[in-house]
A and B are shown apart, each in its own frame.
Chain A
Amino acid sequence: LAKTTQPISMDSYEGQEVNITCSHNNIATNDYITWYQQFPSQGPRFIIQGYKTKVTNEVASLFIPADRKSSTLSLPRVSLSDTAVYYCLVGRNNAGNMLTFGGGTRLMVKP
């Protein structure tokens, strides 16, 4: 399983764009990159998934360079409610995928 490395914590202010980078140097050819968000006292929630280049949905964007050894989750114009822990996962998008979470990045959004 590809190991991921993320910053432990980040601070931001309301209205700013936040970029959280995840390193996954030994990502395999068949691996996808998935990001989850977790609020206190809740289970993680799927945010976005990608394989290469850029993926965008109503919540976030995911940028993946050509070598796929890292990825960046971009949250546009964060609000206080975006304060959470964000997890980067790398795994195969096929039968038998096993979701392994790392330590995550604790994002604090300040007024």
Chain B
Amino acid sequence: DAEITQSPRHKITETGRQVTLACHQTWNHNNMFWYRQDLGHGLRLIHYSYGVHDTNKGEVSDGYSVSRSNTEDLPLTLESAASSQTSVYFCASSVQRGTEAFFGQGTRLTVV
């Protein structure tokens, strides 16, 4: 079955380190998204992509970057991790024309 997977599921890193969270989907979806969710809050959009080599900033993009070299993957990089980036990160994908998105299981990132 097609799916979307995130790795790692849990990560602890130190302030200032570069961290990359992986997201891989096998639906061949054009649209991919990264969100962060802080305890007790909704999801906030970090970056999104509508296709290969396309990337766009979301509402909370500072300190994050993404690249889209193929359809299946959209890795999220924290260039210099900060404690304020401690959060749960969700990746999602959707077909080009539609608002039904499929979400990964999330990555819990702790920056110490």
Nearest CB on A from B98, distance (A): 6
Chain A residues near B12 (CB, 8 Å)? none
CB atoms of B50 and A49 under 8 A apart:
no
Top-3 shortest CB links A-B: A43-B103, A101-B43, A46-B100
CB atoms of A99 and B98 under 8 A apart:
no
CB atoms of B99 and A49 under 8 A apart:
yes
Q: Which of B33, B35, B50, B103 contacts A95 (CB 8 A)?
A: B50
Whose C-beta in chain B lies nearest to the C-beta of A104? B42
Chain B residues near A95 (CB, 8 Å)? 30, 50, 96-97
Whose C-beta in chain B lies nearest to the C-beta of A96? B50
CB atoms of B104 and A43 under 8 A apart:
yes
Nearest CB on B from A7, distance (A): 14
Which bracket fits the contact residues of B? 20 to 34
CB atoms of B106 and A42 under 8 A apart:
yes
Given contacts A43-B105, A46-B102, A99-B33, 9 further A-B contacts (CB under 8 A): A42-B105, A46-B100, A49-B99, A91-B99, A92-B99, A95-B96, A102-B42, A103-B42, A104-B42
Q: Which of B21-45 contact A (CB under 8 A)?
A: 30-31, 33, 35, 41-45
- Taken residue by residue from 26 to 66, chain A's Cβ proximity to chain B (1 for < 8 Å, 0 otherwise) reads as 00000010100000011111100100000000000000000
Instruction: Compute how far the CA of A99 lies from the CA of B44 in the bound complex, rounded to whole angstroms.
Output: 10
Chain B residues near A93 (CB, 8 Å)? 97-99
